[in-house]
Structure 1
Amino acid sequence: HFPWIPIIQPIESYGVANYVDWKPISNQLFQLRRPGVAGANGLQFNRAK
C-alpha cells in the first residue's frame, strides 16, 4: 500500500481570493506558514489597498 499523498491543485479550483499568488516549488515539501514568511514556500498574499 502506498502512503497517502496530497495532490495540490491550482488555487482557482477552490475559489480562494484573487490576492493569493501560487508559485509551486518542486524540490520542497508543501508547508503553510504565516503570511509574513509565506514567500519561503511559494505563497504570497498581495492585498490591494
Structure 2
Amino acid sequence: MIWPLHQAQSVGFSLQWHLDEVVIPIDGENYWLWRAVYVNGILLDKLVQKQ
C-alpha cells in the first residue's frame, strides 16, 4: 500500500533511511550484507553478495 506523504507523516512514518554495509564470514569466505533501514528501524530491503 502506498500512503500519500501527508498521511505517512501524520502517523509518525519517517521517509528517512540509511544503508548499512557489513562483511560477514560464511564457511570461511567473506560476504557483504547490505541493509536499507528506515530511521525508526524498519527493514526495507537486504542483500547478501560475494564480492
What TM-score bracket applies, with the shorter chain setting the length? under 0.3
Greater relative CO (CA pairs within 8 A, separation 6+) = 1
Q: Considering only CA atoms, is the larger Rg found in Structure 1 or Structure 2?
A: 2
Structure 1 length-normalised TM = 0.25
TM-score by structure 2 length? Answer: 0.24
Higher normalized helix content (fraction of residues): 1
Structure showing the higher strand proportion among its residues: 2
